[in-house]
Amino acid sequence: MLWHPNVNVHNVTPNRQKEKGMTDNSNYEGKTLLITGGTGSFGHTVTKKLLQNNVKEIRILSRDEAKQDAMRHELADHRVRFYVGDVRDIDSVRRASRDVDYVFHAAALKQVPSCEFFPMEAVRTNIVGSNNVVQACEDNGVRSLVCLSTDKAVYPVNAMGQSKAMMEKVAQSHGLNNPNASTTVSLVRYGNVMYSRGSVIPLFVNLIRQGKNLTVTNPGMTRFMMSLADSVDLVDYAFHNAKQSDLFIKKARACTISDLAQALINLFKSDVGIDVIGTRHAEKVSEALATREELSRAEDRGDYFRIAADSRDLNYDLFLNEGNVEQSEYEDYDSHNVERMDVSEVEELLLTIPEIRRDLHKAGVAPKER
């Protein structure tokens, strides 16, 4: 296999040096920010980090007033304002984004089974809703919009992934169709966010607490692993470095689901077993963060890949009569072919998650310092 000198998908070990992060960045000082879907796991984490800066205001747009009320009491900070609304309704997005400097678009339907049974709901939120966010930001003169995507948008086999893939096209088409656009629209794409709401890790922890065996669909299934803090750093990096229609990916290691399950069993000093129940409908054995076509135009930035949008216009000759001979030199950036962690390495990564350390403390298990 030949490799382009600028991109090597096998070299994915993150740089261990601490980069400038959201907590020590003055670019947010005095600014107003909006987070759509801001009551979710990402919204909670990014809001807490932003409040450590001298921001003017953080707006949370979501449909769930109960979660908003809980978040309001948790944060107890006058700089956080809550807007009840839905990205499906462009008027509520326009209202929330008025006089806003920067927007992080995290609102989405993310559960694969739900989207399989109700695909048009995924279309309305993930595609139409995202288009509303893009349009409202442009109408209100927002400087920068970062849209959050997922590895399930790459070679999608389920409705959730397909709707997020279309969301990416909607976001990138804004700059391609509007060369003088006032809003810079960019994207980030990442894999499994560890301990995020609805992820498998809280499920495994609850089963261990109950003394029940962990259920694994396919022990050889691989997934990229990223902490919530890393996902926030990725969005922050995109915000500071994006040009119109750019896509950013943070390099990540992968592991098998069985190794993840075993690592949790080891950390909790549990004797529960692992039951294999078989691959579920619309579930992939591995996930890709980037296609070889995208990597052929990617820029390797150390801990990140920057992938510029395909800038060809509607001149069909560029699609039919011209190609890229370098694409055959690449392979997909897939959880099956990147650096894979063993059980002990997964344990080390899990111990960096505050929620895991909290759960271990509650269980009376003192984590070993590593």
CATH number at residue 122: 3.40.50.720
- The pairing of strands 288-290 and 274-276 is unpaired
Instruction: State the burial class of residue 317 (Cβ atoms within 10 Å of its Cβ: 0-12, 13-18, 19+).
Output: exposed
* Residue 281 lies inside a defined structural domain of this protein: yes
Using the 8-state DSSP alphabet, how is residue 213 labeled? P
Residues 238, 187 contacting (CB under 8 angstroms):
yes
State residue 9's pLDDT score.
56
Q: Please tell me the pTM assigned to this model.
A: 0.90
- The pairing of strands 274-276 and 214-216 is parallel
Summary mean pLDDT of the chain? 90
Give the number of C-alpha atoms closer than 13 A to the C-alpha of residue 110, restricted to the C-beta side.
Answer: 19
Residue range 16-49, pLDDT digits in tens: 334 445 655 668 999 999 999 999 999 999 999 9
At 259, the amino acid letter reads: D
What's the angle, vertex CA 163, arms to CA 161 and CA 168, rounded to 5?
95
* Residue 10 lies inside a defined structural domain of this protein: no
Give the integer Cα–Cα distance in Å for 140 and 72: 26
3-state secondary structure (DSSP) of residue 281:
coil
State residue 11's pLDDT score.
52
State residue 282's pLDDT score.
82
Token readout for 357 is 């350390």
* Residue 2 lies inside a defined structural domain of this protein: no
Neighbour count for residue 25 (Cβ, 10 Å): 16
* Residue 12 lies inside a defined structural domain of this protein: no
CA distances from 53 to 26, 35, 43, 100, 162 (A): 7, 16, 16, 16, 36
Residues 127, 81 contacting (CB under 8 angstroms):
no
Across the strands, what pairs with 62?
84
* Residue 368 lies inside a defined structural domain of this protein: no
Residue 217, domain extent: 22-362
* Residue 16 lies inside a defined structural domain of this protein: no
Neighbour count for residue 206 (Cβ, 10 Å): 11
Give the integer Cα–Cα distance in Å for 82 and 96: 9
- The pairing of strands 254-256 and 222-226 is antiparallel
Residues annotated as part of the active site: 152
* Residue 7 lies inside a defined structural domain of this protein: no
Give the H or E element holding residue 184: strand 184-190
> Which regions in the chain score pLDDT beneath 70?
1-26, 314-329, 368-370
State residue 199's pLDDT score.
85
* Residue 141 lies inside a defined structural domain of this protein: yes
| Structure-token match 């505050």, residue found | 354
Work out whether the CA dihedral 224, 125, 176, 27 comes out positive or negative: negative
Give the integer Cα–Cα distance in Å for 278 and 275: 9
State residue 21's pLDDT score.
54
The number of distinct structural domains making up the chain is: 1
38 phi/psi in degrees, rounded to 5: -75, -5
